């Protein structure tokens, strides 16, 4: 397990699971015709993706600039995710669930 963490393999596994999660959420949205939009799903998962990339760079001894860039990418995705949620809520009629 220590080798999986220090080599960054654990982050590769997590990224693979996140890809499966994306596909599952898209399929669920299509099947139910409800839930967050595809853009909202992608924005939410992208924030986590960038955090995992920052972790991978840090675990494998990559440059601090790459860690910083990944963290900034996560921040941008998070802000986008929140903006999408707020605009969807603002567009809902009063008294309806978001």
| Cα gap 47→76, rounded to integer Å | 8
17 neighbors 40 (Cβ within 8 angstroms) = no
Q: Which position has the token pair 């669930």? A: 97
Locate 80 and state its tokens: 């986008």
Among 13-17, 78-82, 91-95, name the one with the lowest average pLDDT.
91-95
Residue-wise pLDDT for 26-41, tens only, equals: 999 999 999 899 999 9
In this predicted structure, what is the pLDDT of residue 93? Answer: 62
């Amino acid at each position: 397990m220590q080798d999986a963490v220090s080599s960054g393999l654990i982050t590769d596994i997590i990224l693979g699971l996140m890809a499966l999660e994306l596909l599952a959420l898209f399929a669920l949205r299509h099947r139910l015709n409800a839930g967050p939009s595809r853009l909202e799903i992608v924005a939410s998962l992208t924030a986590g993706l960038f955090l995992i990339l920052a972790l991978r760079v840090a675990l494998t001894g990559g440059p601090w600039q790459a860690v910083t860039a990944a963290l900034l990418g996560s921040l941008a995705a998070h802000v986008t995710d929140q903006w999408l949620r707020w605009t969807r809520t603002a567009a809902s009629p009063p008294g309806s669930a978001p």
